[in-house]
Amino acid sequence: MNRYLTSLLAGTALMVSACQTTPFDSVLAEQSAVETRLPSGWQQSLGQGEIPQSWTTLFEDPLLADYMRKAEAQNSDVARAVIRVRQAEAGLRDTRSILLPLLRADAQISGVTGLTDFDVSDSYSDGLSASYDPGLFGRNKIEIANSEALLNVQQANQERVRRVVMAQVARTYIQIIETDYQLSLARENFDFIGETLRISEARFNAGDIARDQFALAQFETASAESNVISLEQSARALRRNLAVLIGENPDAELEVASRLPNPAVLETSLLPAEVLGRRFDVVASRARIASSFTGLQQAERLNWPSLSLSGRLNGGGFSPEDIFDIDGYIASLGGSLAATLFDGGRKDARIESARLGLDEALINYDEVLRNAVLDVENGFDRIKASRRSLEALERGSAAANKALELEKIKYDLGESIILDVLTVQRRVNGILASNISTQRRLLEAQIDTYLALGGEVITP
């Protein structure tokens, strides 16, 4: 028996030696080739500052920090991502169990009787069986590696989802503050236009202006009212969105700050490779490559020989006491070695499918890296453009306030009418509205860029 098994294993080894598998080094080489295609000038766009350690240091707003903590604990997307990680952890524990033998116990009772006297004779039996698959030629190791890669994918996805949700919370919170401010300006403008309409109507009735001028004032009043209604609806919708993001009911009462946070200087001295290591979409994409590779290995070993070992201990008798009689037990041992000789092309089809899956994972990795560069470049560009726009608007605001001051002086001297003052006041409010919108865009650019850089630092 031993000599036969030895010769069978030797023949199997010769057969396996003729098989070829894809080496992981070649996959790593392809992955590195993708990474080397990053633009060489990317470093210059990152700046030389220190990236903030967390969202709370990026925006020093205690209300926003509290909403982010609630979102982390209650957001449904984050909760689903946590569940998927736990499922992957359970899957890994399940896969690692193949390293241990499977033990099973069973017990039976049966009875026989004649058809006339119905004298039942009982019979009892029990057994203990064990089976073990050593995972010949690395099968077990490959399955465990695949489960580990899938767990890494889900862990990276969980962190990516969490950071995206944090960015959504910050973005919505900032939009609420801006909308509240715009609504305040819109209501003030509506009051100005209402006063303009009252004066225009009086002048029209007195014959000082034509019908078309009065109609224009009526149109501007209706337009201003419509703008107020639209902004009121937007403010309500944004609050409902924020409530759902943090895991509350849409009708929850939410408090926000009265003004936007001060824009922070966002720069980083991180190298591009360090930025990519902080981005969990990149980490997940690398883990998918590893998972696709183990899938290819499994396909390549589909028809390779498999070895299984088994043993059983049987005992029993005609009474329960016989079960505990060791002399009545019989032990049996066995083993099997099997290999598929013909599968109708199944193995080749699975290998082709798995290899294409690996190619797709590499293509996706290339796309993720390109999008990472795109996010960072666009983010810093938007920050610079928004800051320049704010500088221009601040100059315009100073000029508009000066014009309003002069118009009021002229009105006090009787050199202008109240309509002129109201017109200039509306223009001043228009510049203020543009200024707050640009501040919001700057903060949103900082949110997106911070997310593009990987977000907060996680300390082990």
- Whether the pLDDT of residue 320 is over 70: the answer is no
- Whether the pLDDT of residue 460 is over 50: the answer is no
Residue 311 forms part of a structural domain: no
Query: Which distant-in-sequence residues (6+ apart) come within 8 Å of 442 by Cβ?
Result: 263, 382, 383, 386, 387, 390
Q: Which residue has the higher pLDDT, 283 or 415?
A: 283
State residue 16's pLDDT score: 40
| Percent of the chain whose pLDDT exceeds 90 | 24
* pLDDT one-digit tens code per residue, 89-147: 999 999 998 888 888 877 777 666 555 665 656 666 667 788 778 777 778 888 888 89
- Nearest partner of 217 among 6, 454, 38, 426, judged by Cα: 426
For residue 21, what pLDDT band results from cuts at 50, 70 and 90?
Answer: low
* pLDDT one-digit tens code per residue, 163-189: 999 999 999 999 999 999 999 989 988
Residue 191 forms part of a structural domain: yes
Q: Alpha helix (H) ranges present in 206-308? A: 211-245, 272-278, 280-300
- Nearest partner of 98 among 143, 149, 146, judged by Cα: 143
Domain that holds residue 281: 32-100+140-303+347-452
For residue 242, what pLDDT band results from cuts at 50, 70 and 90?
Answer: very high
State residue 48's pLDDT score: 52
Residue 313 forms part of a structural domain: no
State residue 14's pLDDT score: 38
Longest dimension (CA), the chain: 131
Q: Average the pLDDT over each of 33-37, 206-210, 279-283 and give the range with the smallest value.
A: 33-37
Residue 108 forms part of a structural domain: no
Number of domains in the chain: 1
Query: Which distant-in-sequence residues (6+ apart) come within 8 Å of 426 by Cβ?
Result: 189, 192, 193
Mean per-residue pLDDT over the chain, rounded: 80
| Percent of the chain whose pLDDT exceeds 70 | 77
DSSP run (H or E) holding 308: strand 306-317
**Residue 250 structure tokens:** 């849409």
Q: What is the CATH number of the domain that holds 208?
A: 1.20.1600.10
- Nearest partner of 360 among 21, 25, 34, judged by Cα: 34
Residue 399 forms part of a structural domain: yes
Residue 113 forms part of a structural domain: no
* pLDDT one-digit tens code per residue, 64-79: 999 999 999 999 999 9
* pLDDT one-digit tens code per residue, 441-457: 999 998 998 888 887 76
Residue 114 forms part of a structural domain: no
Residue 19 forms part of a structural domain: no
